[in-house]
Structure 1
Amino acid sequence: MGKAAAPCTGSGGLVSILSAVPCLSCKPQPAAERRMNETALGKSAASVGLASDTYKGWLFKWTNYLKGYQRRWFVLSNGLLSYYRTQAEMGHTCRGTINLSTAHIDTEDSCHIVLTNGGRTYHLKASSEVERQRWVTALELAKAKAIRMMHNQSDDSGDEEPTSHSDKSELHNTLKTLSSKLDDLSTCNDLIAKHGAALQRSLNELESLKPPAESGEKIKAVNERATLFRITSNAMINACRDFLELAETHSRKWQRALQYEREQRIRLEETIEQLAKQHNSLERACRGTTVLSVNTTGVPNTSKAECARPVKGEASDEDDETEYFDAMEDAPAFITVTADPTHRRPEGNFSGTAGGNPESWNLDDSHQARHNESAARTTQFRKRRRSQIPNKPNYSLNLWSIMKNCIGKELSKIPMPVNFNEPLSMLQRLTEDLEYHELLDKAAKCENSLEQLCYVAAFSVSSYSTTVYRTAKPFNPLLGETYELDRQEEHGFRSLCEQVSHHPPAAAHHVYSKRGWVLWQEITISSKFRGKYLSIMPLGVIHLQFPSNGNHYVWRKVTSTVHNIIVGKLWIDQSGEIEIVNHKTKDKCQLKFSPYSYFSRDVPRKVTGVVTDANNKAYYALSGTWDDKIECAKVVQSQRSSTSSENRQKTVYQTLLPKLLWKKYPLPENAENMYFFSALALTLNEPEERVAPTDSRLRPDQRLMEEGRWDEANMEKQRVEEKQRGVRRRRETEASLALEEGRDYKGEHQPMWFEKREDPITGEMVHKFKGGYWEAKDKQDWKACPHIF
């Protein structure tokens, strides 16, 4: 039996009909096959646009940025497209359903399908172009059938106002269906003209024939062409009938709906304009109220978000879908009450610090003097380094315009423009955690481990102070990229970071200070894009060790959330808990970062914490905000209480007057035009001699962006990233070749200055500093460094 050729053209619901119609240049089909196709096509032509009852098959569905496309079992039935993880789930667990009657069907390329229905979107991918076309045909036919069924069941009087969302969707889908039917008509018209011309030629040839044998063969060809012409004509007639029925049914409603939409658009524009004016007026009023509060009462200025926060019971923009990350609901809530300095605790209620009573503790009033002295010393050294960078160009930033185009695609292969970056790499941002290194210098001088833990806790909070206005993302480091910060002469420490992995991205960091502490960490960033906000979750453990007493502290970072991704001004919040553990003494500090809420009366960006010993007895209470300061108060006594409203247990700590542990440095002048960089951040990308050729300061795209040459920076960024991809592809090819030949492949990337070891505390495999960098710098021996730029 002969094989039918593919159709010359076709679209929409007509593809299923025309797919079996051969071009006239094809050879005639055998009679049996022709009769079978004629019967099938006749049935299809009689019901053009109607889908079969059920269509099933495997498709790949986009899930998220971490998992990408996943294989799912899809079932198309009665105008509904449902999907399951496996065929076995069909009887009990449906993972999702989309109604095709109001859905928009789009095709991105040869294998991708996009289904949109209101706020729900399915990004699907077929295994081949042929399979994609089958699904598109089935979806279009099922959609047309669902629309007709919906029309038959509804009251079609045309007297109702099209105010509902379903009516608007119906209008949109009807127009799309009409456009598809018009394409069908055009296709059929072309085919009829083509078949008609061929039929005419055959008839002309028939008239000129004389030999009887040849005449019989030509007559057979004429009959076959006449059959094709009749089938195509039937298809066109049916398509015309559907087109006319739809036009007659919806002609009146179209005019009313279009007029209504015009009026609604005008009213919406007027409403948005009024809201914008009211928003500006409220901002000015809030700003004026804040300044008045500072001048009259001396209360520190609060953030704009705090001024605009409504009290409980007032209207708020907070919607019902607000999510808070990592905040443990069973965390011990507590209240601190300042005690009289002459108060003596009852016997047996509290165990003071070793060698002293509750009132005598080493975090004394001289701390502020030491803090001011350290700040002055730091400022003196900073005068030797640059204090400004070129102003940020006034380019509009719309992160959503980029993020929405990344849905369903491999992000690592999409060059993100520098418009959304700041001229620092992730390695430099990691080094920026050391801005308040003097807290660790003070901690190294503490003889009491609990007091030392207070300074360590303040240091862990201080690393977030630079993020409050820093909404731009840092550059993703290239594999093998490094960054050094040598401040041994000024501040006694040396820091080195290296990008040790690219998939997943991971950076190793090591800091040594001659003032008595060592810090190391390996951080991997995991992010989840949730439409209106972006969650950034640093994965990895931070280690801090004091060699003089052997105290070893370990903690993890909290979740950062970038809000207003789609619309509005970007702002960042920190939420979750940090548990700092001294693995030598088992002392702990539990810090809680409270997520921002319009309904909360607390200070925004609030941080609270308690320092306890191995027996879980509280010694110090910490409080403050992660963007301003942290204070520490000595706990005199504590007791458990319960609230009558929720009947939840709370701990009330009676404390002495709090002492200031950490205070944020003010931002430099003109910081708003310099990416809100701190004084330290302004110096991180300053050109420096004798650094490794892989240092972030030498990255060309980052340097061009800092200089304000963003167009050149974008081109250079694409070049270096494509160079990195080329190296990765070469390694993959070599690894595949080695696997085929049965030999071990030893060409994987190996970090230059770090090596993988087992962490004795966590049991995880992490990259630790193996040494050699500073010796190579002294000798200027960089021949082993890769050429990544």
Structure 2
Amino acid sequence: MKGRGCWETASVRSFCSSGCLNKFKKDDSGDDDDEATSPSDKSELHHTIKNLSLKLDDLSTCNDLIAKHGAALQRSLNELDSLKIPSESSEKVKVVNERATLFRITSNAMINACRDFLELAESHSRKWQRALQYERERRIHLEETIEQLAKQHNSLERAFRSAPGRSNNPTKSFSEGSFLTPKEEDSEEDEDTEYFDAMEDSTSFITVITEPNEDRKAEGETEAVSVDEWTTTDNVLDSASFGSKAPPTVKRRSRIPNKPNYSLNLWSIMKNCIGRELSKIPMPVNFNEPLSMLQRLTEDLEYHHLLDKAVNCTNSVEQMCLVAAFSMSSYSTTVHRIAKPFNPMLGETFELDRLDDMGLRSLCEQVSHHPPSAAHYVSSKNGWSLWQEITISSKFRGKYLSIMPLGAIHLEFQASGNHYVWRKSTSTVHNIIVGKLWIDQTGDIEIVNHKTKDRCQMKFLPYSYFSKETARKVTGVVSDSQGKAHYVLSGSWDEQMECAKVVHSSPSSPNLDGKQKTVYQTLPAKLLWKKYPLPENAENMYYFSELALTLNEHEEGVAPTDSRLRPDQRLMEKGQWDEANVEKQRLEEKQRLSRRRRLEANARGNSLNADEAEKEAEVYSPLWFEKRLDPLTGETACVYKGGYWEAKERQDWHMCPNIF
């Protein structure tokens, strides 16, 4: 009996220590999505389930043996019970009897649990096999559809070129719908074009690129220059991503102190919150980066040269391409920036006076604290101005946090009068509870030129582990007031954006759902924008860009409400986080005290009840901005009313509140 018990124990350990469970978890995790439907993986999955079944049979055998020997053990104990033995020994036998019964019950429960596990594993694996097979069939069908579309376009192009009476002028404008080349290259013209498959309710595309013939590359390149209308002499869209930087008259810093290696002790945070009101709980600077939200808003101007380039565009749809690239470029700094900026104090400002090297002046002011809202105005000496009021709305959804910037962004070019309006996309911070934090940008952006009615529809594709799309992909279409597409945009919001001129569009065959898509035939894409490389040692400097490193640099002559003068932010930048937490708590308490004073003053002066007085206390009159009705959006927003730069010239800041 002892020998059998050892064998039973060895069988159970063999099951527990086998790699079958680990193999199954690997197959079920979806980590190898690309290979999940291959015959080798299917064979491995069946082999794993077979091994699990064999182990279950071993457990069933163990169960039978345990039941058999357990019953024999119990009979022996009952026989001992019937013998006349001393009462002390009888008690011990009774205890042994109870333990044997518990052992049998536990063993049976273990066997039943293992059987349930195997049944669940089998049903789950079947479900995943069906899902993977379905996705594989869809992918095959999509590839066949794309191939069919490419063949149809090839035949259409050949038929068009062979049609009688067509023009042989190779320099005819593409905007007129012609796609003509010298006769000797008719059979190969389509090899240098791209095809974008555009969904009706989405601006995502599938691109089919055919390889050009090796023996005609050089000749094709020369020919493309002669027929491509948008490579005109002004080259407005060419090399748009490389902005020339004028040498600054003021030397800017290129680094800040390294981020200290502070471990985030959640208990040290929680114990300071016991017994306190939720609104009075100070969030430590451990979650922050040493910049305010006003400075982060100013970072949108890093690629201002795109707008400087757009000033020279005489074609409004070409200008729209550059505006779209600028709107997307503002997200490139967020990919590694998982820390939150400091929430500005009410009345806090931030100026960026960079006429010398950037050719612009920017001013931000925190105009509301509940909800947090900031107004921003930029004027450029190159002939454009930008303004916005952004209110941050956030929702915590368990595993992730959605951050939704509310408010319209306005951009106007003085010479042409083109006035563009768009809104920001949603930012999502993932793995809030557990895991490594990462940020994604999702949603649709529509940019409208309210003068010409040109539009750009951009789509930020959400990241999916199972998606075959490039991570952080953005697609878009630029169309005129008649809805005719002129350019297709593609890229990723953290790296670059390209645009391709549309020369022909046609509807495709309906898909399985009965929906019809539009196929855009385009010229080869050109680079509009490319992200600047991060400075050396950026990983130890909060992943700040070259511009971000200069934003909190101390400057003389700024307003006393400027973010550079905020003491807790400055202490954090220097690495003195404990002192920064103390200072941050002091500033927040000072802001609450200021609000209470406004509340009391309103209650005394206006004879209001408590609720009305509280509403009045929340109404704050900005110093440099004023509320106006936006005629284009129909919303009320804060617009710059002037006076700041004149006050700076005089160094007259008597009107500024004492917030620090």
The normalised TM-score by structure 2 is 0.64
State how 1:691-770 maps to structure 2 within 5 Å: 691-740=558-607, 748-770=619-641
Is residue 779 of structure 1 aligned with residue 646 of structure 2? no
Give the match's secondary structure for 1:632: strand
Aligned to 2:339: 472
> Secondary structure of 1:691's match?
coil
Report how far residue 395 of structure 1 moved.
1.4
SS where residue 736 of structure 1 aligns?
Answer: helix
Aligned CA RMSD, in angstroms, stands at 3.5
Once the two structures are superposed, the pairs formed by residues 226-245 of structure 1 within 5 Å of their partners are none
Q: Which has the higher contact order (CA 8 A, sep 6+)?
A: 2
- 3-state SS of the aligned residue for 1:490? coil
For each residue in 1:561-617, what CA deviation from the matched residue of structure 2 results, as whole angstroms up to 9, or x when unmatched? 000111111000000000000000100000000000011101000000000001110
Alignment of 1:429-578 (within 5 A): 429-578=296-445
1:386 to 253, 260, 265: 253
Identity, % of aligned positions: 69
Seen in structure 2, the aligned counterparts of structure 1 residues 565 and 734 have a Cα distance that, compared at 3 Å, is same
Deviation at 1:721, TM superposition (A): 0.6
Deviation at 1:369, TM superposition (A): 5.2
Quote how far apart the aligned CAs of 1:411 are.
5.2
Superposition deviation, residue 495 in structure 1: 0.1
Q: Is the Cα contact below 8 Å between 2:561 and 2:656 reproduced in 1?
A: yes
Tell me by how many angstroms 1:768 deviates.
0.3
Q: How does 1:119-134 map to 2 (within 5 A)?
A: none
Provide the C-alpha distance between the structure 1 equivalents of 2:505 and 2:135, rounded to a whole number of angstroms: 33
1:486-528 CA distances to partner (integer Å, 9 max, x unpaired)?
Answer: 1111121000000001111100000000101000000000000
Structure 2: how far apart are the matches of 1:441 and 1:405?
A: 50
Letter in 2 for 1:773: Y
C-alpha offsets along residues 349-379 of structure 1, whole Å, 9 cap, x if unaligned? Answer: xxxxxxx98744559868565644x35x26x
1:428 counterpart residue number: 295
Distance (Å, rounded) in 2 between the aligned partners of 1:577 and 1:526: 17
Which amino acid in structure 1 is aligned with residue 392 of structure 2?
A: I
CA spacing shift, 1:382–1:706, aligned 2, 3 Å? farther
Report the TM-score, using the length of structure 1 for normalisation: 0.54
In the alignment, residue 474 of structure 1 is paired with which amino acid?
A: P
Q: C-alpha deviations, 1:738-783, integer Å up to 9, x for none? A: 3437999888531110011110111111100000000000000001
- Give the structure 2 partner of residue 603 of structure 1: 470
In 1, distance between residues paired with 2:275 and 2:229? 61
Secondary structure, aligned partner of 1:733:
helix
Q: Aligned in 2, Cα 1:526/1:406: closer, same or farther, shift over 3 Å?
A: farther
Distance in structure 1 (CA, Å) of the matches to 2:270 and 2:332:
27
Residue 529 of structure 2 is aligned to residue 649 of structure 1: no
Cα distance in 1 between the residues matched to 2:357 and 2:564: 20
Match of 2:90 in 1: none
Matched, 1:631 2:498: yes
CA distance in 1: counterparts of 2:135 and 2:227, whole angstroms: 46
Answer yes or no: is 1:618 the counterpart of 2:485.
yes
Once residues 536 and 626 of structure 2 are traced to their aligned partners in structure 1, the CA distance between those partners, rounded to angstroms, is: 42
Secondary structure, counterpart of 1:598 in structure 2: coil
Pair 1:588 & 2:459 matched: no
What CA distance in whole angstroms lies between the structure 1 residues aligned with 2:574 and 2:232?
Answer: 48
1-structure distance, mates of 2:302, 2:262: 29
SS in 1 for 2:607: helix
Q: State the alpha-carbon separation in 2 of the partners of residues 329 and 787 from structure 1.
A: 54
Query: In the alignment, what sits opposite 2:30?
Result: none
Q: Which runs of 5+ in 1 are unaligned?
A: 1-250, 264-309, 315-327, 342-355
Kept in 1: contact 2:249–2:356 (CA 8 A): no
Aligned CA distance change for structure 1 residues 584 and 599 (closer, same or farther; 3 Å):
same
Matches within 5 A, 1:667-706: 667-706=534-573
CA contact (8 A) 1:364 1:659 kept: no
Q: Is the 8 A contact 2:236 2:313 kept in 1?
A: no
SS at match of 1:386: coil
How far is the alpha carbon of 1:641 from its aligned partner? 1.5
Letter in 2 for 1:330: D
Contact 2:359-2:381 at 8 Å conserved across structures:
yes
Structure 1 CA distance, aligned partners of 2:205 and 2:356? 43
* Residues 400, 566 of structure 1: 8 Å contact kept: no
Aligned residue for 1:236? none
Cα shift at 1:312: 9.3
Q: Distance in 2 between matches of 1:363 and 1:574?
A: 37
Task: Please give the residue correspondences for 1:297-376 in structure 2 after superposition, counting only pairs within 5 Å.
Answer: 330-337=201-208, 359-362=229-232, 371-372=241-242, 374-375=243-244
Please tell me the residue identity of whatever aligns with 1:615.
Q
Task: Give the 3 Å change call, closer, same or farther, for CA 422–335 of structure 1 in structure 2.
Answer: same
CA shift for structure 1 position 402: 6.5
Total equivalences in the alignment: 459
Task: Answer whether contact 1:311 1:600 (CA < 8 A) is retained.
Answer: no
Query: Per-residue deviation at 1:531?
Result: 1.3
Q: How far did residue 649 of structure 1 move?
A: 2.3
- Call closer, same or farther: CA 1:412–1:430 in 2, change over 3 Å: farther
User: Residue 543 of structure 2: SS of its match in structure 1?
Assistant: coil
| Whole-Å separation in 1 of the counterparts to 2:272 and 2:463 | 30
Instruction: Measure how far apart 1:736 and its partner are.
Output: 2.3
Letter in 2 for 1:753: W
CA 1:617–1:336 in structure 2 vs 1: closer, same or farther (change >3 Å)? farther
1:340: Cα distance to partner? 11
**C-alpha distance in 1 between matches for 2:270 and 2:371:** 20
User: Is the CA contact (8 Å cut-off) linking 2:375 and 2:625 kept in structure 1?
Assistant: yes
Alignment partners' CA distance in 1, 2:487 and 2:330: 21
C-alpha separation between the residues in 2 aligned to 1:752 and 1:362?
47
Quick one: distance in 2 between partners of 1:424 and 1:582?
Answer: 33
Query: How far apart are 1:413 and its partner, in Å?
Result: 2.5
Deviation at 1:334, TM superposition (A): 4.0
Tell me, yes or no, if the aligned pair for 2:204 and 2:459 is still in contact at 8 Å.
no
Residues 338 and 655 in structure 1, CA contact (< 8 A), matched pair in contact too: no
Cα distance change of structure 1 residues 631 and 408 upon mapping to structure 2, 3 Å threshold:
farther
Q: Give the superposition deviation at 1:389.
A: 0.3
Alignment CA distance shift 1:631-1:405 (3 Å) = farther
Q: Which amino acid aligns with 2:399?
A: K
Q: Answer yes or no: is the 8 Å Cα contact 1:631–1:658 preserved in 2.
A: yes
Give deviations 1:82-137, integer Å, cap 9, x for gaps: xxxxxxxxxxxxxxxxxxxxxxxxxxxxxxxxxxxxxxxxxxxxxxxxxxxxxxxx
Q: Secondary structure at the match of 2:424?
A: coil
Asked if 2 retains the 8 angstrom alpha-carbon contact of 1:362 and 1:451, the reply is no
Give me the whole-angstrom Cα distance separating, in 2, the residues matched to 1:591 and 1:407: 46
Question: 1:635 & 1:408 partners in 2: Cα distance?
Answer: 64
How many Å separate the matches in 1 of 2:587 and 2:650? Answer: 28
